[in-house]
A and B are shown apart, each in its own frame.
Chain A
Amino acid sequence: MNWTFHNKSLPALLALMLIATGCSTSVTRMDAGEVKDLSGAWNDTDSQQVSEEMIRDVLDRPWFGEFTREKSRQPAVIVGEVNNLSHEHINVNTFVADMERALINSGKVQFVASSTERQEIRGERKDQDLHASEATRKQMGQEKGADFMLKGTINTIIDASGKTQLRFYQVDLTLISLADNRKVWVGQKKIKKLVERSNLKF
C-alpha cells in the first residue's frame, strides 16, 4: 500500500499537536512597576498612573495651606465613593488605597476610616465596653470627624471601528469640604489607548 510510506510523518504530527496544546503552566515574575498591556482593559498600570498623578497634584494645591493656616492643624480626610461609570468592571479600591497610603505617609494629612470600616470599629468598641479592662477601654463618642471628603468618578468613551478600538478613560476626583460643601480640589487624569485586535491566529 502506498501510504504506509507516509507513516514517517505521524510522529512529527503528534509532536506538533503536543507543542500546540502545551503541557505546563509557565510563570514569570514581574516588577510591579513594569508596564504590560494584555487586553487593553483597565489594569494595574492605569491604576498606578492615576494614583501617582493625583497624589502629586493634591498636596501642591492651595487648599492645604489655607486649611493649616486657618485651623493650625492637619486636615482630616475621608474617602467617599468613587463611582465607576465606565464600561468595565474596574476595581477602584487599588488606586484609592494607593492614594491613601501616599497621603498618610506624607505626614501632612490625616485619614479617617471609611463608613464600612467605622461600623466594624464601633462593633469592636462596644465589645471593649463589656470585656476590656478599665485602663484600656476606649470611650464612645470620641471619634475624629473628617474635614474633607474625597469623591470621584471614572468615565470612559469608546470609539470602535472594525478591529480597532479607541478607549478613553477619565478619572475625576474631588475633595469636598464637609463644613460648607465647597469643592477645594479637583484632580483629573486622562488615559487614551488604541487597541488593535487581531483577525487571525494560528
Chain B
Amino acid sequence: MACRAALLFVTFALGGALTGCATYSDSFGTIERNLSTRQYDAALQDIEKQADFRTGRVLYLLDKGMVLRMKRDFAGSNQALEAAKSEMERLYAASVSENALSFIVNDATVSYAGDDYEQVLVHLYMALNYLELGQSGDARVEALQVDIKLREIGEKIPESKFTEDALSRYLTGLIYEELGEWSDAMIAYRKAYEAYNKYQVNYGLAMPDMLKHDLLRLAQRQGLKDEASRYRKEFGIEPQQEDGHISGQEGELVFILNNGLAPIKREKAIGMWVPPPVAAVSTSRTSGSRPHTQEKPAMPVLVNIALPYYESRPNNVMSARVSVSGKQASTRMMEDIDAIARASLDSRMTAITARSIARAVAKGAIQKSVDKAGNNRDSDPAAALLGSLIVRVAAAATERADTRSWLTLPANVQLARLSLPPGSYDLTVDLLGADEHVISTQVFPQVLIRKARKTYLTQHWVPVNPTTRGRK
C-alpha cells in the first residue's frame, strides 16, 4: 500500500517537474512589466497562457478581468469577473481528491477559490465597472451581493478580522444615494462607519472625512436628529462646516485611484534531515515485516517545509490630486488591501504550518517504506538506493508553498469626490509622491458630469520599477 502511494507520489512529482518548479507568483514578472508600461494587450496575452491551468482558473479570470478594466473594457472585465464568481461558487464544495493530493504533494494542488477579501473585492470591481458604464442599477445588484457575501464570511469565521469591507459599504451608500434610496444609503453608511472603526483597530486606517459628512448629511435628511447630533459631536463638525454639496443642480465626480499592486506571496523553504517519524515505523510493522529481514539502521528523512509570506511591492505614489477648471480635490485612502492581505495570511499561518508539518511526516513515511522495500533480500542494492534517492528528491521538489493570490489588485484604493456644475470637463490627475512632488500626470478629456448624478472614473497606477523577480 505504501509503495503504491510512493508511486503515485513520484508520478505527480514528475508531472510537477515537467510543468516547471516556479511557484505561481514567480511567473508574474513579465505581466507586471507590461502593466507598468500600459501594454495591456501584451499582458492579456501572457495571462491567457494560464487559461488551461485548472487549479488556478479563478486567478486567471480575476487577473483577466482586472487588466481588461485597466484597458477600460468594462463590459469585457465584467464578463471575466462574473465567470470568476461562478467558479468561486463552484469551488464552495471542497474537493476530496484535491485535498487528499494536497496532503502528499503541496497546498497548491487544491483549486484556488480566492481568499475572503478577494471574494468580496470581485463584487467591488464589478460594481465599479458598472458605475463607469453608467449602469447604476447593475452596480446596485453587486452591492447586494457584497452584503450576502459578507454575511456568509461573518457566519463562517466570526472571529475573522475581515468580516466587513469598508470601501464596499461606502460605495454601496454612494450607489443608493444616487438612486434616491435614502434609508438604504443610511444603513450602508452606518455599516461603513462600523467597518472603518474596525479598520482603525486592525489595519490602522482612519475613517475618511467624506464618510463623516455623508453620515451627518443623511442623518439630517432622514430626520434622525439624535443620530445627527451624535455624529456632530463625535466628529467635531460645526454646523457651518457642513458641506452643502450636491445642491441638486450640481453633479459629482468620484475619482478612484487603484494605487500600486497588492503584495505578492513568496516562499521560504526550510529543509532539514530529521530522524524517521515514529508513525512510519509502526505502520510498516503492521504490514507484515518479516522477522528474518536484517534491519539496517533507518536512513534519515529529508524534510522540506515551504511556507508562504507576503512581500509588499514598492510604490512611490502616495496620493493623487484631481484638478478640473480651477477646482481641486485630493484622494484619501479608503482601503488598504496590502494590510488586509497580510492580516488574512497571518490568521491562516498556524493552519498552513500545521498542514506542512503533517505533510512532511507523510512524505517521511513514504521515504521510509521505500527504504524498507529496498532493503528486502532479493533486491538490487543499487536500485534500492536509486529508489530511495528518487523519492527523496520528489519529496523535496514537491514541497512548494502556495503562493497564489490575486496579484493585479492594487495595494490600496483611494478616492476623491468633487462636485461640479453639469458639463464636459478635461480632468487632470497628478500622482503625488511622499513630499507632494508630481510623479506622473494624466489627462482625462471630456469627462461628462450630469445634473444630480455621479460620474465615476478610475485609474490604476502600476509603478514602473519591476519588483517581481524569480526567487528560489
Interface residues of A (CB under 8 A from B): 1-3, 6-7, 9-10, 13, 20, 39, 83-89, 156, 158, 160-163, 197-202
Contact = CB atoms under 8 A, between A and B. Distances in A.
Contact of B148 (A2, A158, A163): A158
Contact of A1 (B4, B11, B86, B383): B383
B387 A83 contact: no
B145 to A, nearest CB: 5
A6 to B, nearest CB: 5
Interface stretch (B33-41, B43-51, B369-377): B369-377
Given A1-B373, A201-B94, A89 B7 contact: no
B151 interface: yes
B323 to A, nearest CB: 36
Interface of B: 3-4, 6-8, 11, 82, 86, 89, 92-97, 137-138, 140-141, 144-145, 147-148, 151-152, 155, 370, 373-374, 376, 379-380, 383-384, 387
Given A39-B89, A84-B141, A87-B141, A2 B97 contact: no
A85 B6 contact: no
A79 B94 CA distance: 45
A85 B374 CA distance: 68
Contacts of A89: 82, 138, 141
A23 B94 CA distance: 23
Given A89-B141, A198-B93, A202-B96, A3 B148 contact: no
A142 B3 CA distance: 87
A84 B137 contact: yes
Contacts of A158: 148
18 contacts: A1-B383, A2-B3, A2-B374, A6-B3, A7-B7, A9-B4, A10-B11, A39-B89, A84-B138, A86-B141, A89-B138, A158-B148, A160-B155, A197-B92, A200-B93, A200-B94, A201-B94, A201-B95
Contacts of A200: 93-96
A2 B384 CA distance: 9
A3 B386 CA distance: 12
A87 B96 contact: no
Contacts of A156: 144
Contacts of B387: 1, 3
Given A2-B373, A161-B155, A86 B92 contact: no
A7 B4 CA distance: 9
B138 A3 contact: no
Q: 9 closest A-B pairs (Cβ-Cβ)?
A: A87-B144, A2-B373, A3-B3, A201-B93, A1-B383, A198-B93, A6-B4, A89-B141, A1-B379
B7 A3 contact: yes
Given A156-B144, A198-B93, 19 more contacts: A1-B373, A2-B373, A2-B376, A3-B370, A6-B3, A39-B86, A84-B141, A85-B140, A87-B147, A87-B148, A89-B82, A89-B141, A160-B148, A160-B155, A162-B155, A163-B92, A197-B92, A199-B94, A202-B95
A202 B383 CA distance: 36
Contacts of A197: 92-93
B145 A87 contact: yes
B97 A202 contact: yes
A161 B154 CA distance: 11
A160 B152 CA distance: 8
A3 B373 contact: yes
A200 B110 CA distance: 13
A130 to B, nearest CB: 31
A198 B379 CA distance: 48
Nearest to A158: B148
A13 B148 CA distance: 41
A3 B387 CA distance: 9
Nearest to B379: A1
Contacts of B92: 163, 197-199
A76 B3 CA distance: 79
Contacts of B137: 83-84
Contacts of A3: 3, 6-7, 370, 373, 387
Contacts of B89: 39
Contacts of B147: 87
A163 B92 CA distance: 9
B151 A160 contact: yes
B155 A1 contact: no
Contacts of A10: 7, 11
Nearest to B382: A1
A202 B140 CA distance: 36
Contacts of A7: 7
